[in-house]
């Protein structure tokens, strides 16, 4: 079972149509909301893009050079659905997915996928000629995905953790933090690609129990309490 199968199932079982990730960018005024069903479609499209256009197979290294963002969640879970090893080091990676800020670094990988992170799906300017533009390509891919090959639990999922370790730690942290299927967590945490901190506490542990996340980028700290009230978020990271 992949990390994605293990962590997405509780979110879909809880209520596939209720909000799973609500994303704010206080610098741009964006507010986007994704149900479990809708986010699962984006994850599947991303997994298909990685497999069909980027030739990602189990065990390949996929560098993710992106901020905490709803599209990053789709990228991480799409990569894991393919059995990829997610890393923050593009050197030697088979594929790197990067925003404009990290585009130069991403060229150390075999193939670059650029993400504008634009709410309206505009392409990323300045991509190398052989790069893939995520926004332009991902929508053409199917919204259902099934791995071609089984992914063993001891296969690496992060540089420092296997599939089983990612799933086990995510579930354990959910219990330690008191998360359950009714939890709505507001977070401004980054998602460093290691088995501790914001990636687990602010994303994976929430998914592991079918909770709901309100993720804020470029937060206006003065407005954070009010945002928590409006979103009925009971826990703040």
Mean pLDDT over residues 5-32, rounded?
A: 90
Predicted confidence at residue 9, as pLDDT, reads 87
Of 93, 98, 108, the closest CA to residue 61 belongs to 93
CATH number of 3-236: 3.40.50.12780
pLDDT above 70 as % of the chain = 100
Kindly give, in sequence order, each residue whose CB lies less than 8 Å from that of residue 5, ignoring residues fewer than 6 positions away: 81
In 120-203, the DSSP E strands lie at: 132-133, 156-158, 161-162, 184-187
- Which position has the higher pLDDT, 129 or 40? 40
Q: Structural domain boundaries of the chain? A: 3-236
Task: Determine contact, residues 142/44, Cβ cutoff 8 Å.
Answer: yes
State yes or no: pLDDT of 125 exceeds 90: no
Least confident residue range of 58-67, 102-111, 226-235: 226-235
């Amino acid at each position: 079972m992949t990390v994605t199968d293990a962590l997405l199932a509780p979110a879909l079982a809880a209520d596939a149509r209720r909000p799973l990730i609500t994303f704010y960018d206080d610098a741009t005024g964006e507010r986007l909301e994704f149900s479990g069903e809708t986010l699962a479609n984006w994850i599947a499209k991303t997994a298909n893009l990685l497999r069909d256009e980027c030739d990602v197979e189990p065990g390949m290294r996929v560098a993710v050079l992106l901020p905490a963002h709803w599209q990053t969640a789709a990228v991480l879970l799409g990569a894991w659905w393919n059995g990829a090893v997610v890393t923050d080091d593009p050197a030697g990676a088979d594929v790197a997915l990067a925003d404009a800020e990290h585009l130069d670094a991403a060229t150390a990988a075999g193939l670059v996928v650029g993400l504008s992170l634009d709410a309206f799906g505009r392409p990323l300017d300045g991509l190398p000629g052989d790069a893939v533009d995520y926004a332009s390509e991902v929508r053409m891919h199917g919204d259902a995905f099934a791995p071609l090959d089984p992914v063993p639990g001891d296969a690496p999922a992060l540089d420092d953790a296997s599939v089983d370790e990612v799933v086990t730690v995510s579930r354990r942290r959910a219990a330690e933090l008191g998360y359950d299927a009714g939890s709505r967590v507001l977070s401004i945490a980054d998602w460093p690609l290691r088995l501790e901190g914001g990636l687990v506490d602010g994303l994976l542990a929430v998914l592991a129990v079918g909770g709901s996340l309100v993720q804020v980028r470029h937060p206006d700290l003065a407005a954070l309490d009010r945002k928590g009230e409006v979103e009925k978020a009971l826990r703040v990271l």
